[in-house]
């Protein structure tokens, strides 16, 4: 089978790589079981179905979790296929990261993750992208900085996954399933049309529901408003073209659906803690250290 991975780091605590599989590839749906204990940050949007579970939308707003040997299947959403960055960790490090929030992890050391995915904050997404981009450049970070950032990313991904649980009124299994399907349908539309001018009425009509019901269920299931979720998709899609410097910020903001460049810059700063111009510097050890306040162990 073809290799879809570009290995960027291979060390004692783990590995970092970029994954890219075009949608026309014969192995797109099934690239085999997972090798290692991984957390994955999607750059594009796909459907992912873990063996024995329901499909979910893997997009830049989520972190995917995989145990060693996990079987899964992939479905096309984006014409770009599946592009993501993955971090593999030594099993003992994953157990240590999970133990403070899940003491029973020691009883299942072979399969430490009991969930397939969780939310990704803007700061977490930015931090892992900066680290991946730094490793891809001519001046990669020193080993100590690299390893500390890897562990901080693992810790933060685990913490926000366990903080996601929110108390809601009990729902019947049929209601729970219908809500999950409604939210998955909304995410699929947002994942492929985030640059368009979308209205709540358009989304509700496409999903055969009412705007009120869609808003209520989406927020209940995700903890975010639809607008907030869409805005995060747009901002995370902006990171690569912002860093590439080839497109003006004015053109980029309009292409991504923002009302104007000022709105884009203000939203970018609120989400990532820095203005877009900051990302137009080449990722380096110095920049990673400067941004250490964003995410620390």
> Does the pTM exceed 0.85?
no
CATH number, domain of 233, equals 1.10.10.60
Domain count, the chain: 2
Task: Please give the mean pLDDT across all residues of the chain.
Answer: 88
Q: What CATH number should be reported for the domain holding residue 122?
A: 2.60.120.810
Q: What is the pLDDT of residue 244?
A: 79
Q: Which pLDDT tens digit goes with each residue over 241-260?
A: 888 777 888 999 999 988 88
Q: Is residue 290, in this structure, part of any structural domain at all? A: no
Whether 78 and 199 map to the same domain: the answer is no
Does any domain span residue 101?
yes
Specify the higher pLDDT residue, 173 or 272: 272
pLDDT band, residue 295 (cuts 50/70/90): very low
- The answer to whether residue 292 scores a pLDDT higher than 60 is no
Nearest residue to 77 (alpha-carbon basis) of 160, 155, 193: 193
Q: Which residues contact 26 (CB under 8 A, 6 or more apart)?
A: none
Q: Is 208 left (phi over 0), alpha (psi -120 to 50) or beta?
A: left
Asked if residue 121 and residue 46 are part of one domain, the reply reads yes
Same-domain pairing of 20 and 134: yes
Asked whether residue 292 is domain-assigned, the answer is no
pLDDT at 223: 87
So what's the pLDDT on residue 145?
82
Handedness of CA 202, 205, 209, 211 (dihedral sign): positive
Does residue 104 share a domain with residue 12? yes
| 135 and 180 belong to one structural domain | no
Q: What percent of the chain has pLDDT over 90?
A: 57
> Could you list the residue range(s) of the whole structural domain that residue 27 is in?
5-163
């Amino acid at each position: 089978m073809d290799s879809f991975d570009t290995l960027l780091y291979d060390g004692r605590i783990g590995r970092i790589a970029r994954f890219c599989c075009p949608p026309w590839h014969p192995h797109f749906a099934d690239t085999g079981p997972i090798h290692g204990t991984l957390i994955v940050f999607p750059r594009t949007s796909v459907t992912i179905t873990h063996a024995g579970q329901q499909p979910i939308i893997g997009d830049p707003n989520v972190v995917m979790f995989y145990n060693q040997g996990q079987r899964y299947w992939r479905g096309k959403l984006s014409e770009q296929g599946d592009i993501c960055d993955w971090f593999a960790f030594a099993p003992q490090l994953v157990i240590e990261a999970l133990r403070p929030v899940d003491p029973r992890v020691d009883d299942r050391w072979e399969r430490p993750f009991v969930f397939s995915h969780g939310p990704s904050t803007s700061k977490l997404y930015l931090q892992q992208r900066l680290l991946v981009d730094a490793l891809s450049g001519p001046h990669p970070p020193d080993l100590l900085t690299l390893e500390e950032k890897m562990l901080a990313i693992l810790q933060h991904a685990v913490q926000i996954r366990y903080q996601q649980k929110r108390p809601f009124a009990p729902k019947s299994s049929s209601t729970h399933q219908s809500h999950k399907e409604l939210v998955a349908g909304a995410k699929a539309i947002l994942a492929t049309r985030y640059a368009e001018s979308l209205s709540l009425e358009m989304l509700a009509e496409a999903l055969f529901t009412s705007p009120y019901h869609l808003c209520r269920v989406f927020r209940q299931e995700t903890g975010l408003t639809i607008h907030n979720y869409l805005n995060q998709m747009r901002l995370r899609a902006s990171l690569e073209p912002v860093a590439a410097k080839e497109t003006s910020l004015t053109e980029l903001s309009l292409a991504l659906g923002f009302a104007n460049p000022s709105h884009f810059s203000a939203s970018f700063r609120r989400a990532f803690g820095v203005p877009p111009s900051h990302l137009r510097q080449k990722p380096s050890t110095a920049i990673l250290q400067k941004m250490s306040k964003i995410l620390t162990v």
